[in-house]
Amino acid sequence: MKIKYSLSKKEIIKGKKSFEKVLTNGKRFTKGYLKIFVCSGGERKVGFAISSKVRKAVVRNRIKRWLREIYRKEKHILKYDVEIIMLIDGFDSKMSYNTLKEDVLNIFGDINEDI
């Protein structure tokens, strides 16, 4: 089976109601500044959010691009169709793409075990 490494617009959660549904009903996984909320449901969807505590827009946008890229490449690890919100609630100047990727992969492993 060939793995599809794309992230279509249909897979992205948009809208306040959709975000609130996952944030209120979902299960929370935390690793450092990264929080992932998971709600088992219909389709596999993902949403990205970065707190305004990260002051510079350039940094917020870079981190959001990193999260999208990590999800796009590693979504095949998730066994189930779930709705996910990836939230960065702060910033560490030592944060890099590789450390963020390790955190996401650790949480994906926890999600597979827990759901």
Tell me the residue ranges of DSSP E strands in the chain. 27-31, 34-40, 45-50, 82-88
Residue 69's closest CA among 48, 53, 52, 90? 48
Is residue 1 over pLDDT 70? Answer: no
Work out the average pLDDT over 11-35.
Answer: 92
CATH no., domain 9-114: 3.30.230.10
Amino acid in the structure at residue 61:
N
Output the pLDDT for position 94: 73
pLDDT in tens, 52-100: 888 888 888 999 999 999 999 998 998 888 999 999 988 777 789 999 9
What percent of the chain is modeled with pLDDT above 70?
99
Which position has the higher pLDDT, 36 or 94? Answer: 36
Output the pLDDT for position 5: 82
Residue 114's closest CA among 87, 86, 79? 79
Is residue 51 over pLDDT 70? Answer: yes
Is residue 4 over pLDDT 80? Answer: no
Question: Is there a contact between 18 and 77 (Cβ–Cβ < 8 Å)?
Answer: no
Residue 104's closest CA among 79, 80, 69? 69
Q: Provide the sign of the torsion angle of the four alpha carbons 15, 23, 111, 70, taken in this order.
A: positive
